[in-house]
Structure 1
Amino acid sequence: MSKRRWNGWLIARLVLSTAVLLVMGWITLLIWNPWGDDVEQKVDAAALFNTAEHVPYKAGLPNEQGFQLFAESDRLKLLVDPATAHFQVVMKDTGKVWRSYPDPTHWKDEKATGTWKNQLTSPIIIEYVNANNYKASSVSNGLIENQGYLEDFKQTEKGFTVTFAFPKIQFKIPIEVELDNDYVETRIKDAGIVEGSLSLLNVKLYPLFGAEPSVGQDGYIVLPDGSGSLIQFQQDRTMQQLTYNESVYGPDASYYYEYTDRQRIAMPVYGLKSGDQAFIAILTQGESFANVFAAPSGSIGSSNWVTAEWQYRKRFYQSVSKSTGEGFYTYSGDRFNTDTRATRYYLLGTEQSDYTGMAAAYRNYLINERGVKPIQSPRKDIPFFLDLVGADIEKGLFFDSYLKATSTDDAKSIVSRLYDSGIKNQQVLFAGWQQDGYSTHGGYFPVDKRIGGNEGMKSFITFAHSLDIPVYLTANYTLNTNGDDGFWWRRDGLRNMAGTVLEYKPKNHDQDASDYVSPGFYKKVVESDLKNFKALGADGIDFEDGITQQVNTDYNSRYRASRGDVVDIQQQIVQETKEQLGSVAASNANFYALDQLDHIHRLASDYSYDVFVTESIPFAQIVLHGLKTYTLEWSNLRDEWDDEFLRSIEFGAYPTYVLSGDHADDLRRSYSLWYYSLNVNDWIDRIQEEYAKANAALAPVQDRFITAHRTLAPGVKETVYDGGYRIIVNYNETDYAKDGLVVPANNYVVREGGTQP
C-alpha cells in the first residue's frame, strides 16, 4: 500500500565507535529535552537531609502494642504506629484485620533473607538508577538499607501524612493515608518528591498490604489480566522468582517493552482473598502511570502479595542511526508527574470475600463515583451484533487492487435475511466503508462509491432505522496509511522518546507499515469528521483497535502529550462522539471510557497463561453485566466452536458475527481480512441456531447484575444473577449430576430461583 511520504535526501551510514555512543548518550541525557521549557531541575538535596535529628528506620515488624486509633468510620477503624508509619484496618463487626505489613503470626518462618527481608517490612520500596551512566543497573531498596527515616509525621482528621526520607540516596517521598466508610486510601503526592543526583524509577507504597502466606490459607490473588485471572495460594511452590508486572492500560509504545504476548490490563484494579476476608484495590488517581505487580508465595518471600508499582521513568531505546539501527538503552530524564497517585483498598466482609464480591465493589465504585449508568428497560430479546465489511485491498505489482465485499445494497439484504429469520434486535457495526476499504486509514470520507457512496450508506442506515436497528460506522483514527486529512508523518506522527515516528507493522508482511498518529492530531480529525457521521445518519462510531485501547506517550513537539494526557484526549473524543451522535462503541476498551461507552465489542475472554496463574475468571464481565452490553470474539473466528459458545453463555456475552456479501472469496487476497470466513451464506443457519439458544438463556437477565460465579466441579461453572437466576455450563464430555441437578455433556442448563446445590 502506497504512502504519501516525503522522500528527502539519504543520510550517509554512520559508523559509530563505543566512544561516540558514550558521547551521544551523554548529550541525550544531559541536554535533550523533548518537553520544551518544562525542565525538571535536580536539586542539591544533601542539605535537605539531617540524619542527626531523626531516628533511622529499624528492621523487623512494628510492635503491635504501639498502634493507636487515628480514625474511625461506621464500618472500619484505622490504627497507626507512629514509629513506623505502618497501619492496620479493622472491620468493626467482625474484628477482621488488614495490615500494611506481613502477618506477624508467620513472620518467624519467613525464608527471605538480607535486603529482601528488610524490604518486605518497609512501608515503601523504591527503584532508582544513575541515569547519567547508560550502562548503570537499577537498584531496589526500602528504608532500612538507606538509614531512612520518617519526616513530618502528622495525624489528620481521617488518617495521617508522612514523608519517607532516604538520606544516603537523597530521595524524599510524601504520602497520605485516609480512612473512609468502607475503604482506606493511600496517596503519593508527586509535587513534594525530592531527588538528588539519582533518578527515581518506580515506587511501591505499602506493597505488603493484606499479604498472607499460603500456610493454612484458602486464598488467591486476583489479576486484571485479560478478562481476569487467579493465582491460587500454594504451599511449597516450586517456581522461584516468577512475578507478574504489567502496565495498567497496556504497554507504552514510546518506551521499551519486553514483548510477552500477555493480555492488556483494561481495569485499574487488583485484589487478594485470604480465608474469609478479602480486599479489592482500585487505582483511583494517576493509574495511567502504574503497573500491577504480583508476587506469589515463594517468589519474593513467603507471603502472597500484590501491589501497584508507580512508574516515574521508563527505559527507551535511543537510536543514533536510522540506517543501521545502532543505539543504546537509557532512561527518560524527567519524571512522569501527576498530581496524586492513589490506591483505594475496599475491605470486604465475609459474605463478599471472593472475586465476585470484589467485582461488585468495583461496579459500585463505577456507578457511584464514575457516573456509569446501569442498563435501563432492555428490549425483550437480546441484541445480536452484526459486523459488516465493505471492502479491502490487495497488493498488486504496480497498484493496489480494490476488493469489494459488501455494498450498501448487500448490507440491506443481509440485515433483512436475519430480521426475517427472527433476529429483530440487531445492532450493525459497518467496517471497511472508507476510501480503499478496511486496511486504509486516513481520509475516511466520503464513503467509497464502489460500495454505494454516501447516498448508498444513507439509504442503508435509513432502511436499518425503519427496522429499529442502529448502525455504527467502524474507524481507527490512531493510524494513517495514505497522508489524507492533511497528515504528514514527519509533522503529525506519534514520536517516541528518541524522536522516532512510530509505525504499526501488520502481521501480513505484504502490507506496508502504517504510521501512528499523534493523539493531538487525531482528536482534531475526529472532531472534524463528526459532522460527516451525523450527515449519514450514523448512530455512533465503533472505535476499533485504537482509541480507548492504546495509550502511548507522544514526544512530537507539536502535540506532546503524557500518558495521562492521552487518556484525557481519548475521554474527550468519546464524550464528544456521544454528545454529537448519541452512542459510542469500542473494541476491548480500557475502562476509563466506560462512562460514555454504550457497548464494548470483542471483550477479552481469556488470560495470558502465565505458569503461576491458576485459571481465567470472567471478572470484567461480572463488573459489566447490567451496566453495558458486551460481546466476546466474533463467533465465526472461534478456534473451538462448542467450548467458546459455552463460554459466551457462562460469561453473559451476546452473539456477534463478522459477515460480508457473497464476494467473500476475493478477500483471501486482501491485506487484513484474508483469514476470515465472512460469506453470509455460509453462516446464516448457524447464526439462527446460536442466537435462539443465547436468547433463551440470557434475555431474562439483560439488566441484572451477576452476583456469584463459581466452579461446581472440574469443567462445570455456575453463573448466578440477581433474583437467583442460574446458568450452569458443563464443558466436559460426560454429564454432570449432583443433588438432582443434571447438566448434559457440552451443554448448559438454566434454573430460575431456588436454592443452589
Structure 2
Amino acid sequence: MKNNKKIIALLSALAVVVTVSAILVLKPKLKVDAEQLSSYATKAVPPVYVNDNIDWQDDIALVGEAGGYQLYYDRANVSFSIKSVQSGHMWKSGVTAEEFTPKRESDYIWADLQKACIVGYTNFADMNGTINIAERLTQMVTVTATEKKLKNGVAVALMFEEYELGFTMELWLDEDGLNVRIPRERIVESGEYGITNITVFPMLGATTDSEDGYIVYPDGPGALYRLISSENRQSSVSTDVYFPRTFDLDSIERDHVQGKQYAMLPVYGVTTGSKGLLAYILEGEMNSYITLTPSGNVYDLHRIQSTITYRKAYQYVSPDGTPLDAVEKNISAGDYRVHYFFMEQDTVTYSSMAQRLREYMLKTGRLSTSQAADDERVNVNLQMIMGSQVKTMVATTYQEMTTFDDIQKMVGELGDPTGNALRIMMLGWQKSGYNSNPTGYKPSEKIGGLSGLKRLTKSLGRRGIDSYLIMNMVDADAETRGFTKQSDAAYNEMQLPITNADGSRYLTNGFRSLNQLIYKVLPYFNRHHLQGIGFDKLGKYVYDDYQTNMAMNRSDMLLTYRGILQESRESGRSIAVQHGNAYALERADYLYDVPLSNSNLMVMSESVPFYQMVVHGIIPYSGVTPGNMSVDYAVEKLKWIEYGCEPMFLLTQNSPELFKGSKVTNAFATKAETLLDEIASVCQEFNKKLRFTANHTISEHKKLSDGVYRVSYANGWSIYINYNRTAQTIDGIAIGGVDYTVIDNNGNIVE
C-alpha cells in the first residue's frame, strides 16, 4: 500500500512538471510590438508634394511663403534664404560677404561658408570621414541635386556620386517658421559606404562678435555663451540630447558625480539683440547632439548646429585582447526634422525665446497642462524613504524607516499650519525596498502593507493632497528577486548586458517594463484605488537595446516611455516623472529632481532657467537637492524661488543611522521630528508671499548685477533675488543680503 502511494505521488509530481513544461513551451515569447509602440507616437505632419513647376530666375527661386516669411532656394550653390516680408531681413543657410570677410578668400572657402550640410560616412572597415558639400567645387566629390516642389517649400534630393550615398532635404514654411526634414525612407546607400551622421545648416545663425548677443546652449536647465571672442582659442563643446549615445553605467555614475548635464530640451538659440533664431528638433532628437563652436575655430564666427547620428560608433575587445572600433551595420535612427523660429523685436532674449517655445509646444501638444495646474497653492514636496534592504552578518532584511501611519501622523501635524499644501512622494515602499529594482508593485507589510497604504491614500485624498508611489522601471539590481539578466536586461552592440564594472546593476528592456505596467501594475492600482505613480529615471535615460528578438533603438525606447505615461494617465493616475526630458512633458503632472545647474563648462558665462521658463505654470516641479541636505539652506531656498521650484525635503520617521549597510547611501539629517517646524514655516512663507507663482508662467528672467536677479511673471508681479551677503538696491528696490523682495503688479512691496 505504501509503495502504491509513493507511485501515485511520483506520478502526480511528474504530471505537475509536464504541465509546467507544457505551459512554458506553449507560452509565446514576448516580442516588441511595433504597431503597439507606433500608437504612442506624437503625430508628425509631413510636407505636401505638389506638381507645380519651380519658377527659376537665374537659378534662384521663391519656393515658399507663409507666416510673414519667404523661402528662396539657390540651386547653383545649394543654399537657402528666409526673408522677413515686414522688415526685409534675410536669414541665410550660409554666410556671405555682407556679414563676414574671412582672413583668406577662395571659391572653396566661400562655398564652405555657405554649405547646407555635412555628411559623415563609413565603409564599415577602416575608413570613416565627412563629405562637405563645398568639396564639389574642388572636384573631390560630385554632387547632383534634383528638386521637387512642396507646398510652401522645396524638396532637394542630393546624391554624392563617388560614395553612392544620398538623401532628400525637405524644406517648407508654415505659420511658425521653417521646417527642415530628412525622411528616413529617402536615404540612399547603394555601394560600400553608409551614412553615419548628417549636420544640416551648420552656418545658419553664425555671427561675429556682438556685445548684446549670446547663444542659448541646452546644458541642463540652460546656459549662455556670450558672443565675445576670447584671447585664448576655445574648443567646441557638444551635448547629447537627453542621454549619451554610447555609455556604460559606470560612466553615467561618473557624469552624475561630476554634475554633467545633457540637453533636456532639444533646442538652441542665437540672438544678436534685435534679431534671433531658435531651433527646435522635432523628430529624431533622441539620436541627435548639439555642437557650439566659438569664434577662432577655422573662422572668426560663433556658431551652433545640430547633428543626427544614424549609426553609432562603439568599441569592443577582440579575442586576443585588442580594443577595436566599429560602427553599427544598420541605420538606427528614423526621420529627422528641425523647426526654425525667426524672431524680430526690440530685444530678443532667452526669455522671449522660452516664451515662443512654450507657446509652440502647447499648440502642438508637446507640452500639456498638468492635472495639478489649477492648484493655486505652492505645495511643499515631501519625499519619504519608507524602507530599504539592509545587509547584516546573518541575513538581508527589510529595515522600515517610515510607515504609512507615520506619514498620516506627519500630515496631521502639518495639515492645519500649511493648509494641506503638501505633496507626498513615497520611495522604497515595496517589499524590495529603496533602490532594489525591479521594485515590484506591492507594499511591504513592515510599513503597513496594503491596508495601511489604502488608509493613507483615502486620508490624503480627503485633504486634497497628491501622493505618488515611486517606481523604477529602467534599471535593475542583480541581487533583487525577479530579475534575470538573460531575459530582462538591455543588451549592447556586442550582445552583452549593459551593466557596471562589478555587474551589480543592469539596464532593463523597456518593452517588458511597458507590459509589466499594463498587465500587472495598473490593474493592481485600479483594483485597490491607489493614487499617483512616480517614475524614477524614466525622464532621463534613453538608450538602445540590441537584445535578440527584443531589439529596440532609442526611438522605440521613447515610444515605450510615452506608452508608460499614456497608459498610466488613461488609467486615471496622476503621474510624476524624475528629471523631465522633453518627451515627458506631454503626459507628466509633476516633475521631480529637475536640475537647477548646468555642467559649468568654461566657455559658458552663466546658467539660466531656460527649461524652467518653458515649463513653469504648466507643470509644477521641484529641484534635486532637499532643503535639509543642502550645503547652505538659505541659498538653496533662493534657488527654489529664482527657478520657480516647489520646496523639497527628504524625510524618514526613524533615524538615518539605520541606513548603515543599506542601499541608501546619500541621505542624512532626514529625521522628520527635527524638520516639521521648518517645513511648516517655509510652506507658510511661500503661500503668503509667493502664492502667485503657483500657476502663472514666467515672462522674464534677468541678471541685474553680480548675484542679483529679477524674475517676472505673466500676472505682472516680480521677485528680486539677492545671493550676496550684503544688501543691494536695484531699480530703487532694496533687497536684503541672501534674501528676496516681491513687487506686485502695482509696484508695491509685498510683506
**TM value normalised by structure 1:** 0.85
Find the partner of 2:425 among 400, 407, 429.
Answer: 429
Aligned equivalents of 2:671, 2:500: Cα separation in 1: 28
Question: 91-100 or 303-312, which moves further after superposition?
Answer: 91-100
Instruction: Give matches, 1:699-714, under 5 Å.
Output: 699-714=691-706
Question: Aligned ranges for residues 164-243 of structure 1 at < 5 Å?
Answer: 164-195=158-189, 196-214=191-209, 216-240=210-234, 242-243=235-236
Match of 1:494, SS?
A: coil
Does the CA contact (< 8 Å) of 1:117 and 1:301 recur in 2? no
1:517 aligned onto 2:523? no
Q: Is 1:698 matched with 2:690?
A: yes
Residue 370 (structure 1) aligned with residue 365 (structure 2)? yes
Partner residue of 2:743?
A: 751
SS of the equivalent of 1:559 reads coil
| 2:465 equivalent in structure 1 | 469
Structure 1 CA distance for aligned equivalents of residues 326 and 104 of structure 2: 34
Residue 3 of structure 1 is matched in structure 2 by: none
Look up the match of 2:336: 341
Which residue of structure 2 aligns with residue 566 of structure 1? 557
What stretches of structure 1 of length at least 5 have no aligned partner?
1-33, 36-63
1:406 aligned to 375, 379, 402, which one?
402
Determine if the alignment matches structure 1 residue 591 to structure 2 residue 593.
no
Aligned residues of 2:366 and 2:583 also touching (Cα < 8 A): no
- Name the counterpart of 1:273: 271
Paired with 1:174 and 1:101, the residues of 2 have a C-alpha distance of: 19
Per-residue deviation, 1:612:
0.6
Q: What's the counterpart of residue 360 of structure 1?
A: 355
Q: Is this contact kept in 1: 2:240–2:263, CA < 8 A?
A: yes
Contact 1:255 1:316 in 2 (8 A): no
Distance 2:691 2:542 in 1: 35
1:253-402, aligned counterparts within 5 Å? 253=246, 261=258, 262-320=260-318, 327-338=323-334, 340-351=335-346, 353-370=348-365, 372-374=367-369, 378-402=374-398
Q: Distance in 1 between matches of 2:478 and 2:454?
A: 25
Contact 1:283 1:343 in 2 (8 A): yes
Cα deviation per residue 1:536-570 (whole Å; 9 max; x = unaligned)? 4322211012x232111111113111110100011
1:99 maps to: 92
CA gap of 1:377–1:197, structure 2 versus 1, over 3 A, is closer
Which amino acid in the other structure matches residue 297 of structure 1?
S
CA distance in structure 1 between the partners assigned to 2:448 and 2:148 by the alignment: 69
Residue 7 of structure 2 corresponds to none
1:237 Cα deviation after fit: 4.5
In the alignment, the residues of structure 2 paired with residue 486 and residue 211 of structure 1 have an alpha-carbon distance, to the nearest angstrom, of 53
Q: Which amino acid aligns with 1:232?
A: R
Distance 1:473 1:74, change over 3 A: closer
The alpha-carbon deviation at position 488 of structure 1 amounts to 2.1
CA contact (8 A) 1:84 1:150 kept: no
Aligned partner of 2:506: which letter?
D
Contact 1:297 1:303 in 2 (8 A): yes
Shift of 1:270: 1.0
Q: What is the rounded CA distance, in whole Å, between the counterparts of 1:267 and 1:210 in structure 2?
A: 19
Match for 1:723: what amino acid?
N
Which range moves more in the overlay, 736-745 or 138-147? 138-147
Moved more, 365-374 or 184-193: 365-374
Call closer, same or farther: CA 1:334–1:74 in 2, change over 3 Å.
Answer: closer
Q: Of 621, 625, 640, which residue of structure 1 is paired with 2:612? A: 621
Q: Distance in 2 between matches of 1:110 and 1:361?
A: 37
In the TM superposition, residue 463 of structure 1 has moved relative to its aligned partner by 1.9
Q: Which residue of 2 aligns with 1:28?
A: none
Q: Which amino acid aligns with 1:283?
A: I
Give the partner amino acid of 1:190.
R
CA distance in 2 between partners of 1:636 and 1:537 (Å)? 32
Change (3 A) 1:620 1:337: closer
SS at match of 2:587: coil
Give the share of equivalent positions with the same residue, in percent. 23
In 1, are the aligned partners of 2:656 and 2:667 still within 8 Å (CA)? no
Change (3 A) 1:564 1:111: farther
Query: Within 5 Å, which residues of 2 pair with 1:649-664?
Result: 649-664=641-656
Equivalent-residue separation in structure 1 for 2:736 and 2:142 (angstroms): 63
Q: Match for 1:404: what amino acid?
A: E
Question: Partner amino acid for 1:275?
Answer: G
Most deviating of 293-302 and 267-276:
293-302
Give, in whole Å, the separation in 2 of the partners of 1:69 and 1:225: 37
Residue 155 and residue 358 in structure 1: after superposition, are their counterparts in 2 closer, same or farther (change >3 A)? same
Write the distance in 1 (CA, Å) between the matches of 2:694 and 2:179: 34
Mean Cα displacement is larger for which, 496-505 or 116-125?
116-125
Q: 1:578 to 1:121 in 2, by over 3 A?
A: same
> How far apart, CA to CA, are the structure 1 residues paired with 2:298 and 2:179?
25
| 8 Å Cα contact 2:534/2:578 also seen in 1 | yes
Could you tell me which residue of structure 1 aligns to residue 72 of structure 2?
79
2:628 is aligned to 636
Structure 1 132/373 Cα, relative in aligned 2: closer, same or farther at 3 Å?
Answer: closer
Distance 1:317 1:147, change over 3 A: closer
Q: Contact 1:102/1:303 (CA < 8 Å) preserved in 2?
A: no
CA distance in 1: counterparts of 2:150 and 2:725, whole angstroms: 60
Which letter does structure 1 place at the counterpart of 2:694?
Q
- Aligned twin of 2:716: 724
Whether the aligned pair in 1 keeps the contact of 2:236 and 2:293 (CA below 8 Å) is yes
CA apart distance, 1:178: 0.6
Q: How does 1:415-426 map to 2 (within 5 A)?
A: 415-426=411-422
1:44-95 alpha-carbon deviations (Å, 9 max, x no partner): xxxxxxxxxxxxxxxxxxxx99754322224212222221221111222222
Closer, same or farther: CA 582–726 of 1 in aligned 2, 3 Å: same
Q: 1:666 to 1:588 in 2, by over 3 A?
A: same
Residue type matched to 1:495 in 2? Y
| Structure 2 residue identity aligned to 1:718 | R
Task: Give the Cα–Cα distance (whole angstroms) in 1 for the partners of residues 639 and 243 of structure 2.
Answer: 25
- Are 2:550 and 1:555 equivalent residues in the alignment? no
CA change 1:371–1:163 in 2 (3 A) is closer
Correspondence for 1:542:
534
Q: Does the 8 Å CA contact 2:96/2:110 hold for their aligned counterparts? A: no
Report SS of the residue matched to 1:107: coil
Q: CA deviation at 1:644?
A: 1.9
Q: In the alignment, what sits opposite 1:148? A: 142
Q: Please, which of 454, 468, 475 is the counterpart of residue 450 of structure 2?
A: 454
Q: Is the 8 A contact 2:100 2:208 kept in 1?
A: no
Q: Which residue of 2 aligns with 1:126?
A: 119
**Partner residue in 1 for 2:38:** none
The residue type paired with residue 96 of structure 1 is: H
- CA distance in structure 2 between the partners assigned to 1:310 and 1:286 by the alignment: 7
Measured in 1, the distance between the counterparts of 2:489 and 2:444 equals 25
Q: For the structure 1 residues 138 and 675, does the alpha-carbon distance in structure 2 shift closer, same or farther, using more than 3 Å as the test?
A: farther
SS in 2 for 1:724: coil
Provide the C-alpha distance between the structure 1 equivalents of 2:500 and 2:678, rounded to a whole number of angstroms: 35
The answer (yes or no) to whether the contact 1:317–1:329 under 8 Å persists in 2 is yes
Which 10-residue stretch deviates more, 484-493 or 173-182? 484-493
Deviation at 1:305, TM superposition (A): 1.2
- Per mean C-alpha deviation after superposition, the further-off stretch among 622-631 and 283-292 is 283-292
Shift of 1:665: 2.1
Q: In structure 1, how many angstroms separate the alpha carbons of the residues matched to 2:617 and 2:96? A: 38
Aligned residues: 683
Would you say the 8 A contact 1:150–1:162 is kept in 2? no
RMSD: 2.8
3-state secondary structure, aligned to 2:82: strand
CA–CA separation in structure 2 for the residues paired with 1:662 and 1:117: 69
Contact 1:405 1:660 in 2 (8 A): yes
User: Structure 1's 569 and 335: CA in aligned 2 closer, same or farther, altered over 3 A?
Assistant: same
Unpaired runs of at least 5, structure 2: 1-30, 33-56
| 1:654 counterpart SS class | coil
